[in-house]
Structure 1
Amino acid sequence: MRVAITGVGAITPLGLTALELADGLRGDRIGIRPAPWAPEGGALFAGVDERFDATGWFEERRLDGVDPFACFAVAACDEALVQAGRWDDGGAVLDDERTAVVAGTSMGGMYSLMLAQARLEQGGSDAVPPKTMLRVWSNMAAAQLCVRYGVHGPSLTVTTACASSIDAIGQAARMVASGAADTALAGGAEGGWPAGRPGIEDFRPVTSVAGRILGMESPAADPARAVLPFDVDRSGIVFGEGAVFVVLESEASVRNRGAEPLAWLRGYGSCADSYHPSSPDPSGRWEARAMELALAEAGADPSEVGAVVAHATGTPKGDAAELKALDLAFGREDLLVTSVKGHTGHTGASAGAVGVVTAVEALRTGVLSHTAGTTTVDPDAHVDVVVGEPRRADLGTVQVNAFGFGGQNASVVLSRA
């Protein structure tokens, strides 16, 4: 497989563009902050940059029908299209029947559903917004993108928890590679974790304590030390939100437009642990299998991969399993490995796509971002975990992992354009 990535867009805790995300990952900026619903302290949250204003993309009168996750998706995808050169003064420039949309989400409009429930309990049925269900359905990110750009190709929603955006990008790339579409807009969006947004007094959705319920929430109070991927002192997750989308195009589409790819997507692999709803198979066998499948589709030898953007959320069990998987798939101590979670928190379905932007930037610039927060790497890490500062490296191929609750394993292989 050889599919071009021609544009990337991002709304994340580190900023409102892919450039701000990349700059934040190369620096010391941390997108994890004290939670807005706990002003007294004791809780952390990785919300999107506070400058985000949905009225930049939707008229005020339409916002009552759009959940934050769909707003984030539209904003990110607009940016990706602009960078890809698929935008003019009239909006997106796309072949309406040859463009696919594949959006990943794990929570969908859960925020809106819980807000509506709170309003129902406090004010009765008349207090529930009439467009609540339009905000709740998980396919609404993809639907909003199709409506905005007027495209009529395949429109799919992928929900494989934290692996959703890698699965979305991988499936979209296969559509393009097979000829089912010439262009695809793919990525992930999450807005189901937030709390403290205007709407109802003292509203706090249960998703705001999801990490605590799962027994995976980081107990740290310092944002800079809250998430420690691959560190001996790692203690848990800080959940967040955001959206990242990419524009995928066939080689013929790129050639006909005279476009310059940012990178090539060469392979995608996915499989299931079939082990436990929240814990990974401790052997790492099936996470390794996803990486091996992606390499096989790419026609690449493991020795070609210079770096891996790991899933690595900072949980004791999750990171341990991924380290074993890296040993199984690569068996190399010189393999560079990084994780974005110390910078961004765990942005749910969009997390894997954040990793894709990280990989694209590393391939383009020769600089791989570091694993923020981590200082003492687990001795069971038989790879070169990048800590302290970004690492300069001549990278030709980078692999990106995303592993979701329920044993959803996904991986993609990207190469330098």
Structure 2
Amino acid sequence: MDKKPSTSKGSIFCSLRYGLALIMHFSNFTMITQRVSLSIAMIAMVNGTQQHDLLNASTEGPFVDTLNNPIKKVNAGGMAWTGQFTIWAKWAPPLERSKLTSIAGSGSAFGSFIILCVGGLISQALGWPFIFYIFGSIGCICCLLWFTVIYDDPMHHPCISVREKEHITSSLAQQSSSPRRSVPIKSMVRCLPLWAIFIGFFSHFWLCTIIITYLPTYIRSVLHVNIRDSGVLSSLPFIAASSCTILGGQLADFLLSRNLLRLIDVRKLFSSLGLFLPSLCAVALPFVASSYLTTIILLILIPGTSNLCDSGFIINTLDVAPRYASFLMGISRGFGLIAGIISSTTTGFLISQDSVSGWRNVFFLSAAINVLGLVFYLIFGKAEIQGWAKERPLTRL
């Protein structure tokens, strides 16, 4: 009986928490567009000079500079992205977590789509500085909205309705709300459900980094097409990723709200879809290289289906340890960053030896890592709050 109010109170889209999700969506949009803007502007700045060939060797696409420079990537958006999970731990009812986090997280993929579509056009029509002027101004607006609208928890927000506040607090009543103590590092290290999440991140980022980083290289070398000639084509994987993120979140919470699946079943279902489907597409790529259209479809499907993981292990830390969600998301992103570094280096080495067999080995290895990560998560993944993350009464004697 306590669960029914959680689904009926606090009407859906006309609510403050969905407004917060939209602000975070555009914040993530801003972070990714500002990162990619730098790479596009660099191309424009050196365009027409003798250094253009050198640029091609180091920045095959707008994302390459960001992904090949891990320090920049972490400093630019890592803390902001992980900090959002601290907010959702206090703002997102359990039956709406997938929806809210997917709306917020889809801003990154949507931002990639927009900047790849219009970045080059802005540079040609107005000049490369206007890329920074336009998207920097959007960032300032998002920053202003963040400071005025985002609060740590619903209890202290001046604009939230009583109905919505009661809905959120009652749905989160079982979660701990006491002041944090020291982080239980030893318990975390021994926690297999956490390791399942970390390994899931490692597997997910391994293939995604390869696709994002080497997408233009693959199309140019295998299909003999320069993807820079079509900004829309290079952005299609990211609009697919954004759409799948939102749709996956809606479907996940639908399954939960209708009691069709348990929480752990939903997490494992979307983790399976987000790791196994991209693996199938990757394995199929070497066998359809002669077909331009089929190759493009598979390259679009890989990041699209990969983002179904957003409703799986990616938000699983909010289930197993909501008190430490931000800290654990930082560690998870660290595993993803390590995977990205290793996968990029490995891919570069393999394709430098032999292009045809190199690409085949890259995709087979990526699929194997995805499947192994999925198996580990299916065995050890959990969705209930772990003992070390629960409320413990203070006792002094």
TM-score (norm 2): 0.29
Larger strand share, 1 or 2: 1
TM-score (norm 1): 0.28
Greater gyration radius: 2
